[in-house]
Each structure stands twice: as structure tokens, then as C-alpha cells.
Structure 1
Amino acid sequence: MSIRTSNPDWGAFAAIATVAVIVICAAIDPAHAKSTRGPDPAFAPTYAQPPAAPIANGSIFQISNGYSALTNGSRAAMVGDIVTITLVEKTQAVKANSASTDRSGNIQATPAVTGPISHLFKGTDVSGGAGATFTGKGAAAQSNQLDGEISVTIAQIYPNGTMLVRGEKLLTLNRGDENINITGIIRGADVGPDNRVLSTRVADARITYSGKGEIARASRQGWLNRFFSMLSPF
């Protein structure tokens, strides 16, 4: 009885390992993740509080939590009210610098030798020169623009009259998802009659615009390309 052993096929093993690595990396790659996502709890809407139970004090007219003076009209001013933020963000930055230097030097000397060996140095000049030149130039430019509207809710009212607003908008399109999140502080005086506020009037604003899906994935580097980019020293 004889037992025959064979050497393992390292080529097949390497091929299987490569396929496994590709599958795992594709699974953890955010670009291949499921495009549809649920609402973010950090930007959940704030609903108006239910009115408090009336106090049995014998008064005919009771002021509830939802009371609003006639002079206020329909302007949002309470927790849970809806405010529309008009996105008019536009930034542009340009920076350029340049430098140039030039330096040169020259020296020349004629030896004066007398005596019997003077004929050996006749017509001999000693000269030297040096020069250095440097030129540098750099430029950078960046511009961003975001237009649109997003409706948010008033989450909190502070004693000085400012209000914390937050909200998000999720758009599911045929080629991916578009997500807009915003939070910040606004003044009641900046709220227009139609309950609109410019995004430039939002203090401590946090505006996030992102997308997932086929278009976003096509404009993003692949995981293998990103891996070699991190390893490259250049």
C-alpha cells in the first residue's frame, strides 16, 4: 500500500485569495454600499408640544402653549414651526504668489611678476565667476456654489429670541440618492413673511450635501487605485 502526496497548487490558491480580497474590499467599499438610507436621527424633525391642560381658574379665555398674538401673523416663532432655508451659498478663493532671484559675480586678476621668469607669465590672466538664478511660482483657486431650498423645523427657542433649526431632505432618484442636512441658529427678525431665511443668515450653520449611487460611484476612485495611491511616495 502506498500513499501518494502531491504539492499544493499555489497558483490556484493565489487566484482564490485574490478573488476573496476583491469581494471583501467591494463589500466594505462605501461606494458599493446600499444607496438608499434612512433618516439621520441627528436631524430628526421637532414636533410641536401638545397644549397643556387648561387651569380651572374660572377665566373664560385661557392662554395655551399655542397662543400667538394677532400682530405675529403666520410667521414661525414656536417649537415645531416650519422654516424654509434658501440655500445661496457661494464661496470663491484665489491665491497666487511668485518669487524670482538673480545673483552673479565676476573677478579677474593679472599677475605682475618681474625678474628672469617674468616671460613665463606674460599674457596670463586669472579670472573667476559665479551665478545663481531662482524662479518660483504658485497659484490656487477654489469655488463652490449651492442653490436650492430645504424646509426645517424649529427645535429650540433661546431666551434672547434666537432659534435652533434643523432638518434634512432625502431625494431618491433613478440614478442614486441626494441628501441635504442642515442645522444652525437663526434670528426671529430674519424670518420673512413667507417663513423663509437665507442660508447666509444662519449662524453656526452645518450644511451637508452628499450623494450615493451610480453617478457618485463613477466619479470616485476605485478601492485598488486608492490603495496604491496611499502607498505611492510621490
Structure 2
Amino acid sequence: MSARAPGLRLLAAALPLLLAGCETLAPKVELAGPFTARPAPAPAPAATTGSLFQAASYRPLFEEHRARAVGDSLLVNIVERVQASQRSASSVEKKGALESGISALPFASARTLGRLDASGSSSNTFSGKGGTESANDFSGTISATVIEVLPNGHLIVSGEKQIGLNHNVEVMQFTGRVDPRGIQAGNMVSSAQIADVRLAYRGQGQQAEAQAMAWLARFFLTLLPL
């Protein structure tokens, strides 16, 4: 048992590194589910009273259908364009010089004084530059479902779309908070008018696995200092 103790301690020390190597390097978007909701069951019809107006089956005649209750769906027009750039530069320069000499001293000859001259100089120069640029463009459409109605009337919507082709699956997920006043004709709303947007588009299958770094390469990447 004592001979195995060093090996067990080495395995215990290397286990966190092995687990770090197995972790994926791709960040994930935090999405709040669920991605769909069903409307509440319709209330039981009240007893007919002979009147033409029935509250349970009332629908406005001239009202355009727009999402307003849990289970209703709407079309989200995703138009996300983000572009940012930054440039910076700085420069610092400093120079200095010093000279000194002794022309006369008691009991010292001119030849000796000539060796006592001193001079010095210093310089310091610093220059730095930096720049960053980012551009993103995403467009598309997705149907989202109202999963919650807030007290102020805003709608929490969420939607998911999956497309399978051979051994690959493309998954798009969307969540956000919609102001009903921003819903346009055709029950459609632009993503620019939606708050708290969470949008994820990723692939699953052979194509996604081919683009991922192998777990052994990720393990050694965690050990490299650079």
C-alpha cells in the first residue's frame, strides 16, 4: 500500500488538470428557459342567458391579432449589427546631461587636475501603440412564444429552432423581453426593440466536432505558460 501512495498522490494532483483539459474552451450564452409554453386551458363556458354577448367566447371584431398572453407566438426579426474600434498611442522622451571639472586645487598640478574632469548623460524613451476592432453581423427570423407576462404588461418571449441535415444539427435559441407597443403589423417585432436579448446559434454533430480542439490538446494547453 505504501508503494502505491506516491502514485495515488500524483494522480490526485493531476486530476484537476485532466478535468481542465476536458472542459470546452468555447463560451456559452446563458439562456433562460423554457423555450415554449402552452396557453392555459379555456374556462368552462358559462350558462347561456339568451344574450348575444358571451364573455367566454368574445373576440374583438376589428382587433389585429398580436401576442399578449402566455402561449401566443410572434415573429422576431433578428437584425444585430455591432461595430467598434479603438486606437491609442503614447510617447515619452527624456534626456539629461552633466559635466563638471576642477580648475585649481592647492598642492595639485594642472596635469593631475586634468584627470578629475567628469561628465555624464542619460536618456529615456518610451513609445507605445494599441488598437482593437470588432464587427459582428447577424440577421434572421425566428418564431418565439410568450412564456410569461410581467405586471407592467411586457412579454417574456423565448424560441428555439433546430435544423437537421445528415449528421449535423443547427440550433438557434432566442430569449428577450418585448414591449407590446413595439409589436408591428403582422405580429412581428425587431430584435433592436427587445430588451435583455439572449441569442445563441451553434452547431452539433460531426461538423462541430471537427472544429473543436481535442481534449488532449486542451490538456497540454492548460499546462503551457504562454
Same fold (TM over 0.5): yes
Aligned twin of 1:8:
none
Alignment of 1:59-70 (within 5 A): 59-60=50-51, 61-64=53-56, 67-70=58-61
Greater shift, 115-124 or 95-104, is seen at 115-124
Helix, strand or coil at the partner of 1:72 = coil
Q: Is the 8 A contact 1:182 1:206 kept in 2?
A: yes
Identity of aligned residues (%): 31
Alignment of 1:30-45 (within 5 A): 42-45=33-36
TM-score normalized by the length of structure 1: 0.75
Give the distance between the partners of 1:128 and 1:57, measured in 2 at CA. 109
After TM superposition, the structure 1 = structure 2 runs for residues 11-160 of structure 1, keeping only pairs within 5 Å, are 42-56=33-47, 58-60=49-51, 61-64=53-56, 67-114=58-105, 117-122=109-114, 125-160=117-152
Q: Is there any run of 5+ residues in structure 1 with no aligned partner, and where?
A: 1-23, 32-39
Match of 2:208 among 174, 192, 216: 216
> Residues 67 and 157 of structure 1: is their aligned pair in 2 closer, same or farther, counting only changes over 3 Å?
farther
Structure 2 segments unaligned to the other structure (5+ residues): 1-17, 26-30
Counterpart CA distance in 2 for 1:30 and 1:102 is 46
Are residues 108 and 116 of structure 1, via their aligned partners in 2, closer, same or farther at CA, if it must alter by over 3 Å? closer
DSSP-derived class of the 1:58 partner: coil
Deviation per CA, 1:21-61: give whole Å up to 9, x if none. xxx99xx7879xxxxxxxx9923421222321122262532
Separation in 2, partners of 1:77, 1:210 = 30
Q: With a CA cutoff of 8 Å and minimum separation of 6, indicate the structure with the bigger relative contact order.
A: 2
Q: Deviations over 1:102-146 (max 9, x none)?
A: 111101122212555123334863210111111122222222221
* CA distance in 2: counterparts of 1:98 and 1:178, whole angstroms: 43
Number of residue pairs aligned between Structure 1 and Structure 2 = 200
CA distance in 2, matches of 1:125, 1:30: 68
The answer on whether the counterparts of 1:43 and 1:183 sit within 8 Å (CA) in structure 2 is no
More off after superposition, 125-134 vs 167-176: 167-176
User: What's the secondary structure of 2:62's corresponding residue?
Assistant: helix
Q: Find the counterpart in structure 1 of residue 217 from structure 2.
A: 225
TM-score with structure 2 length normalisation?
Answer: 0.77
Distance in 2 of aligned mates of 1:233 and 1:123: 53
Does the 8 Å contact 1:45/1:155 carry over to 2?
yes
One-letter amino acid of the counterpart of residue 63, structure 1: A
